[in-house]
């Protein structure tokens, strides 16, 4: 609530202030008048004091003071020019425009102080002023008009009120003071307060007012006091104190209001940044006076720097942290410290630098007797998700995933005895991008299994070589359609040898089948090429052979 208080500060002017001053002194023996100044400057709406001191003959007893205003060319003013008479009962008419505006500074004429104050000046008050003292000489009424005059020049008002604004702090009651110009005891001026906010909007402040008029004819100072509770809304607004004197003469003073206030600091900007982009964070706080802002990184005792290699701080209430081409090392906790007067507030913010997912070395597959096992190692921020397109074609498999920092290890196992043309692909995606890789498959069999496989390969080579020999022999026999006769012992040995070899082959195949391993099924035919028999010849030969 605004409280408007009118107050008057009284100032007294001693009647002896003008004694002994001889400016404008006349060469006189019995009657003379002394003015401190014979030419006075004054402003409309204010007041003017004409300092005056007189002296009379020894037999003259002064009773009243009379002041006139007339043309400077006239030697003696007349009764029609009277502006003030200390005797209220004379019945003499005064100039109407001066009624109630002229007062003696010293009412006791015996003090011989003839100084007067003219209040509520108008420009028409400019002119020459003359003094007359009335009294008694030897018991008879008499008077003396002093020839010297005082010239008063009244111009337009240029003086402004004095506005005093203390240090304003939000929430603490404060008092603004407006002092009207001039030390006048005339009409109490009208003092008004006006606030002018943003956009030029104005609001008048009204309240109760009380005028304290000095009961003694001395000077007064008029003061208006405004009491209110300032807030941040009053900051940078303007306040105007306007003084309105009699005759619509006005003057005013406008000052800008500053209010000390402080708001909570805040950090503006994205705290998650992709690798290679720029980190841009602004720490700011609305306050007056502006706060000092300092950026630091946690675990670092030094202030952060920008391109100027100077400390990253600002006393304007706002400081921006910019890091170009960020890397994973720029991730971490950053600190903004805002210092306002004797108060310090600290803010913390976590910065995360994300990067594309990558498939690391060490990823691959191993084919074993019990199945296929593949490992995909991927790194990225945020953590990537690893998928296996191969699993779409299999219903039986297992996947194990482990995480360490920014690394994901995905292991898949599935029963595959022959990978054939199988392609194993690992796909890693973390939202920033996707990477895939075809994994290398290597075989890893136990020692016993390797020996069995080597035996099977050697056995296969023997079978193939034997079959080729048999086929070639068949071709030769069939093309000639007869076989040359050999000795009976030689033919018998050949048949025995052939039977023995065939028996060994079958035995080997049987052993392979008993091992439970898959192998190629080989069909072996023993082809006997027998020549056309000529009756008697073979039998004779057989007999001869037996006889031997």
Q: Which of 34-38, 129-133, 529-533 has the lowest mean pLDDT?
A: 529-533
What is the pLDDT, as a whole number, of residue 406?
A: 86
Residue 304 vs residues 321, 335, 491: alpha-carbon distances, Å: 8, 10, 103
Q: Which of 31-35, 197-201, 512-516 has the lowest mean pLDDT?
A: 512-516
What is the pLDDT, as a whole number, of residue 392?
A: 87
Report whether 83 contacts 67 (CB < 8 A).
Answer: yes
The pLDDT > 70 percentage for the chain reads: 70
Mean pLDDT of the 330-339 span: 93
Tokens of 495: 């048949």
What is the pLDDT, as a whole number, of residue 7?
A: 38
Tokens of 545: 């052979």
What is the pLDDT, as a whole number, of residue 228?
A: 87
- Per-residue pLDDT band at 419 (split at 50, 70, 90): low
Of 326, 327, 323, 330, the residue nearest 350 (C-alpha) = 330
Mean pLDDT of the 433-442 span: 90
Tokens of 504: 């060994």
Q: Which of 7-16, 50-59, 113-122, 344-353 has the lowest mean pLDDT?
A: 7-16
What is the pLDDT, as a whole number, of residue 348?
A: 95
What is the pLDDT, as a whole number, of residue 527?
A: 32
Three-class secondary structure of residue 199 per DSSP? helix
- Per-residue pLDDT band at 204 (split at 50, 70, 90): confident
What is the pLDDT, as a whole number, of residue 305?
A: 54
- In this structure, the strands spanning 292-297 and 332-340 are antiparallel
User: For residue range 132-180, what is the model confidence (pLDDT) as tens digits?
Assistant: 999 999 889 999 999 999 999 999 999 999 999 999 999 999 989 898 9
What is the pLDDT, as a whole number, of residue 185?
A: 83
Q: Rounded to the nearest 10 degrees, how much is the dihedral formed by the CA atoms of 387, 391, 395, 400?
A: -40
Q: Which of 162-166, 309-313, 383-387, 401-405 has the lowest mean pLDDT?
A: 309-313
**How high is the mean pLDDT of the chain?**
78
Q: Which of 49-58, 330-339, 436-445 has the lowest mean pLDDT?
A: 436-445
The pLDDT > 90 percentage for the chain reads: 49
- Per-residue pLDDT band at 474 (split at 50, 70, 90): low
Q: What does the alpha-carbon distance between residue 118 and residue 310 come to, in Å, rounded to a whole number? A: 67
Residue 24 vs residues 28, 30, 32, 144, 455: alpha-carbon distances, Å: 12, 16, 10, 18, 149
Q: What angle do CA 108, 111, 92 make, to 5 degrees?
A: 50
186 vs 15, which has greater pLDDT? 186
DSSP-assigned letter for residue 527: P
Report whether 315 contacts 368 (CB < 8 A).
Answer: no
Q: Is the pLDDT of residue 31 over 50?
A: yes
What is the pLDDT, as a whole number, of residue 454?
A: 52
Q: 518, exposed or middle or buried, with CB in 10 Å at 0-12, 13-18, 19+? A: exposed
What is the pLDDT, as a whole number, of residue 94?
A: 85
Q: Which of 221-225, 272-276, 356-360 has the lowest mean pLDDT?
A: 221-225
47 vs 482, which has greater pLDDT? 47
13 vs 173, which has greater pLDDT? 173
What is the pLDDT, as a whole number, of residue 1?
A: 42
What is the pLDDT, as a whole number, of residue 300?
A: 63
Report whether 184 contacts 219 (CB < 8 A).
Answer: yes
- Give yes or no for a cis peptide into 465 (omega within 30° of 0): no
Mean pLDDT of the 231-247 span: 91
User: For residue range 455-467, what is the model confidence (pLDDT) as tens digits?
Assistant: 455 555 666 666 6
Q: What does the alpha-carbon distance between residue 194 and residue 98 come to, in Å, rounded to a whole number? A: 33
What is the pLDDT, as a whole number, of residue 353?
A: 92
Residue 420 vs residues 265, 371, 372, 424, 451: alpha-carbon distances, Å: 66, 13, 12, 12, 21
């Amino acid at each position: 609530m605004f409280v408007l208080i009118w107050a008057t500060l009284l100032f007294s002017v001693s009647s002896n202030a003008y004694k002994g001053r001889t400016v404008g002194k006349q060469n006189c023996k019995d009657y003379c008048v002394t003015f401190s100044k014979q030419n006075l400057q004054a402003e409309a709406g204010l007041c003017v004091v004409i300092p005056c001191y007189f002296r009379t003959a020894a037999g003259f007893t002064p009773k009243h003071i009379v002041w006139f205003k007339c043309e400077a060319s006239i030697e003696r003013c007349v009764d029609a020019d009277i502006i003030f008479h200390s005797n209220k009962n004379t019945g003499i008419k005064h100039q109407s425009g001066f009624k109630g505006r002229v007062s003696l500074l010293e009412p006791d004429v015996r003090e011989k102080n003839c100084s007067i104050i003219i209040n509520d000046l108008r420009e028409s008050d400019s002119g020459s002023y003359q003094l007359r003292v009335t009294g008694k000489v030897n018991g008879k009424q008499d008077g003396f008009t002093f020839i010297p005059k005082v010239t008063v020049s009244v111009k337009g008002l240029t003086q402004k009120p004095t506005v005093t604004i203390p240090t304003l702090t939000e929430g603490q009651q404060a008092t603004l003071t407006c002092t009207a110009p001039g030390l006048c005891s005339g009409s109490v001026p009208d003092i008004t307060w006006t606030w002018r906010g943003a956009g030029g909007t104005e609001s008048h402040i009204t309240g109760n007012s009380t005028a304290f008029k000095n009961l003694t004819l001395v000077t007064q100072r008029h003061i208006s006091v405004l009491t209110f509770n300032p807030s941040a809304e009053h900051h940078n607004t303007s306040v105007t104190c306007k003084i309105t004197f009699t005759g619509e003469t006005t003057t005013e003073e406008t000052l800008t209001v500053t209010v000390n206030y402080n708001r909570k600091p805040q950090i503006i900007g994205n705290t998650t940044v992709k690798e290679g982009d720029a980190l841009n964070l602004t720490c700011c706080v609305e306050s007056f006076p502006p706060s000092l802002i300092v950026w630091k990184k946690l675990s670092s005792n030094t202030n952060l720097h920008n391109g100027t290699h100077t400390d990253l701080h600002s006393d304007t209430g706002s400081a921006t942290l910019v890091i170009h081409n960020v890397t994973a090392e720029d991730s971490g906790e950053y600190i903004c410290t805002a210092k306002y007067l004797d108060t310090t507030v600290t803010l913390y913010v976590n910065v995360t630098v994300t990067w594309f997912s990558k498939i690391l070395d060490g990823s691959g597959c191993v084919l074993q007797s019990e199945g296929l096992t593949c490992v995909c190692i991927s790194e990225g921020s945020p953590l990537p998700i690893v998928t296996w397109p191969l699993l779409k074609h299999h219903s039986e498999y297992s996947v194990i995933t482990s995480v360490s920092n920014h690394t994901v290890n995905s292991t898949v196992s599935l029963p595959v005895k022959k990978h054939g043309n199988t392609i194993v692909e690992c796909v890693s995606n973390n939202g920033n991008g996707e990477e895939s890789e075809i994994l290398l498959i290597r075989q890893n069999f136990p020692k016993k299994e390797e020996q069995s496989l080597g035996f099977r390969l050697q056995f296969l080579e023997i079978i193939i070589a034997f079959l080729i020999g048999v086929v070639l022999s068949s071709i030769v026999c069939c093309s000639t359609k007869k076989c040359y006769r050999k000795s009976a012992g030689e033919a018998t040995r050949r048949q025995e040898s052939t039977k023995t070899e065939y028996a060994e082959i079958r035995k080997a195949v049987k052993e392979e089948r008993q091992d439970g391993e898959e192998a190629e099924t080989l069909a072996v035919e023993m082809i006997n090429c027998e020549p056309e028999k000529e009756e008697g010849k073979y039998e004779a030969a057989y007999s001869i052979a037996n006889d031997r």
